[in-house]
Amino acid sequence: MSNTIDLLEIIGNDASLRFASADELANRLERLGASEALKAAVSSGDRSYLSQELGHRVMHHPQITHAFG
């Protein structure tokens, strides 16, 4: 998981990776040894793969105590 977070940071900081095509980014991630979840998220455009790997959980609940009725 920490490798995935590090790679996401690298992608965010490098404009050539941030705006790369999905194929180009997938090739770079393969060479960098990215997790299967990160590679699947990049190739499909579906971030749910990352949610599964990183352990998605709700951090806050909406406040609905001021609702009418």
**Amino acid letter, 7:** L
Alpha carbons 6 and 12: distance in angstroms, whole number: 10
Q: Is 62 helix (H, G, I), strand (E, B) or coil?
A: coil
Query: pLDDT below 50 — which residues of the chain?
Result: none
Do the domain assignments include residue 17?
yes
Q: In this structure, are residues 55 and 4 in contact, taking their beta carbons and an 8 Å threshold?
A: no
Do the domain assignments include residue 30?
yes
Q: Which residues, 6 or more positions from 5, have their beta carbon under 8 angstroms from its beta carbon? A: 54
What is the tally of structural domains in the chain?
Answer: 1
Q: What is the pLDDT of residue 40?
A: 92
Does the model's pTM come out above 0.75? Answer: no
Q: What is the pLDDT of residue 65?
A: 64
Do the domain assignments include residue 20?
yes
Do the domain assignments include residue 12?
yes
Q: In this structure, are residues 37 and 57 in contact, taking their beta carbons and an 8 Å threshold?
A: no
Q: In terms of residue numbers, what domain contains 17? A: 2-54
Do the domain assignments include residue 67?
no
Q: What is the pLDDT of residue 37?
A: 92
